[in-house]
Amino acid sequence: MKKVGKFLKSLFLNNVPIKLLALVLAIATVVFINI
């Protein structure tokens, strides 16, 4: 569990570019709302 937590932390804090994450979330939101 600890390893999974560390992996998620590193994934969300360091490795994922914020613009890419915002892009994915924005596209997902538009799809979820209009589908």
Partner 1 sequence: MFNLNMSLGKDFWLRYWDKIKAMADCFDYSYIAEFLLYFLSFYLVLKILKDNKGSKGIALICVAVFGVGFSLTLSDTIPSFILITVIAIFDICVLIMYDTEIKRSLLGSGNKKHAKKDGMTVRDIEFIIDEIIHAVQHMSKRDIGALIVLSNENLPEGIISSGTVINADINTAMIEAVFYPKAPLHDGAMVIEGDKIHAAGCFLPLIQNDNLPQEVGSRHRAALGVTTVASVTSIVVSEETGVISIIKNGEVKKKYANEADLKNALSDYYWNDLTGEGTKAV
Determine how many CB atoms are found less than 10 A away from the CB of residue 1: 5
Q: How far is the CB of 28 from partner 1 (least distance, A)?
A: 6
Q: How far is the CB of 1 from partner 1 (least distance, A)?
A: 15
Q: How far is the CB of 4 from partner 1 (least distance, A)?
A: 12
Which one, 1 or 35, has the nearer CB to partner 1? Answer: 35
Taking the C-alpha atoms of residue 17 and residue 24, their distance in angstroms, rounded to an integer, is: 11
Taking the C-alpha atoms of residue 26 and residue 32, their distance in angstroms, rounded to an integer, is: 10
Which spans of this chain sit near partner 1 (rule: CB under 8 A)?
8-9, 12-13, 18-19, 21-23, 25-35
